[in-house]
Amino acid sequence: MPELPEVEVILRGLAPRLQNRRILAVAVGEKRLRQESSPGEFGRWLPGRNILELERRGKYLLFHLEGKVILLLHLGMTGRLLLQPTPSPALPHAHLLLQLEGGLQLVFQDVRRFGQALVFPPGVAPAPLSQVGREPFSRQVTPQWLSQEARARSRAVKNFLMDGRVLAGIGNIYANEILFAARLHPATPAGDLSVEDWTRVLKETRRILKAAIAKGGTTVSDYLNSQGETGLFQLELLVYGREGEPCKTCGQPLVRMAQGGRSTFFCPRCQKEK
């Protein structure tokens, strides 16, 4: 579910409420997430620590705790982070519950359990972050760099955009929207794009991610922010999930195809093969 904009919205909602708030206790759900520290590790490293700062890297959320302890969360497809008053009725599929001072609790809920919740003691670098690519809004990301990264790559530009080891945070929804806006066929080999193409892709990437953040993210089924509210950017999607509907630019029916096991939506007229 959550891609960069959704994680960013959650971060912005949580940061002012969590900063400088102490974790009192931790509860862990029965079933394990795909990647999850043991209950013992959570119990050892979290209770009693103050939350100093929140950070986003790609689709990961980092909680920097007192004493250089890091709590790393990834929401997978169906993860939610809900901040509630204590006590609140128990939620189904709650996998981690942080009891906080001031009558609040933070619940990590994840139906499909593709998410991650890992704690890292002082001095231990969070391993998953070593695989995370550059931030789309970083000055380190330029059309020239993208072109260089894509050089001699035969894989489809859409799969390239979704490769979090290159550009972090772009998932299936936004990859579709970006390529429609940049008028590129999603199956174009990444290495075939010119620097001008990459200039357009980067501009549209930043514009769309920024607009999605401003609209509170995209809710197609599960996504809720930390206050339990849906996003609004689904109202602005131009291609994702719109198979058979007319293209908003040219009226041609939009097409769906599969790429790497994921659905790709595009306009066969506006997004011609190169």
Which of the residues 56, 59, 80, 158 is marked catalytic?
59
Q: State the catalytic residue, choosing from 34, 151, 262, 274.
A: 262
Task: Kindly tell me which residue out of 34, 248, 272, 274 binds DNA, with binding defined by CB under 7 A.
Answer: 34
Q: What distance in Å separates the CA atoms of residue 210 and residue 38, rounded to the nearest whole number?
A: 36
The reply to whether 178 sits near DNA by the rule CB under 7 A is no
Q: Which of 37, 105, 109, 219 binds DNA (CB under 7 A)?
A: 219
Structure-token pair, residue 207: 């514009």
Contact 73, 80 (CB under 8 A): no
Residues near 165 by beta carbon (within 8 Å), at least 6 away in sequence: 131, 132, 133
In the sheet that holds 69-74, the strands lie side by side as 35-36, 116-120, 69-74, 60-65, 50-57, 21-28, 94-100, 104-110, 79-85
The binding track of 74-103 with respect to DNA, each residue x by CB under 7 A or -, is x-xxx-------------xx----------
Note whether 233 and 22 are within 8 A (CB): no
Active-site residue flag, 3: yes
158 is catalytic: no
Pattern of binders to DNA over 231-250, x per CB under 7 A? --------------------
Choose between 76 and 186: whose C-beta lies nearer to DNA. 76
Residue choice 13, 43, 126, 164 for contact with DNA (CB under 7 A): 164
Sign of CA dihedral 26, 34, 56, 213: negative
6 is an interface residue for DNA by CB under 7 A: yes
Say how far residue 33 (Cα) sits from the centre of its chain: 17
Active site residue 242: no
Proportion of the chain in helix, strand, coil states, percent, rounded to 5: 30, 25, 45
Backbone angles phi, psi at 184, to 5 degrees: -115, 135
Considering only residues 133, 171, 186, 216, which one is a binding residue for DNA as defined by CB under 7 A?
A: 171
| Residue 220 binds to DNA (criterion: CB under 7 A) | yes
Q: With respect to DNA, which residue has the nearer C-beta, 44 or 93?
A: 93
Q: Which of 113, 134, 185, 242 binds DNA (CB under 7 A)?
A: 113
- Exposed/middle/buried for 231, CB within 10 Å: 0-12, 13-18, 19+? buried
Among 21, 22, 64, 155, binds DNA (CB under 7 A): 155
Catalytic residue among 3, 8, 149, 204: 3
Q: Interface residues with DNA (CB under 7 A)? A: 1-3, 6, 31, 34-35, 58-59, 74, 76-78, 92-93, 111-114, 128, 131, 153-156, 159, 162, 164, 171-173, 190-191, 218-223, 260-263
Catalytic sites, residue numbers: 2-3, 59, 262
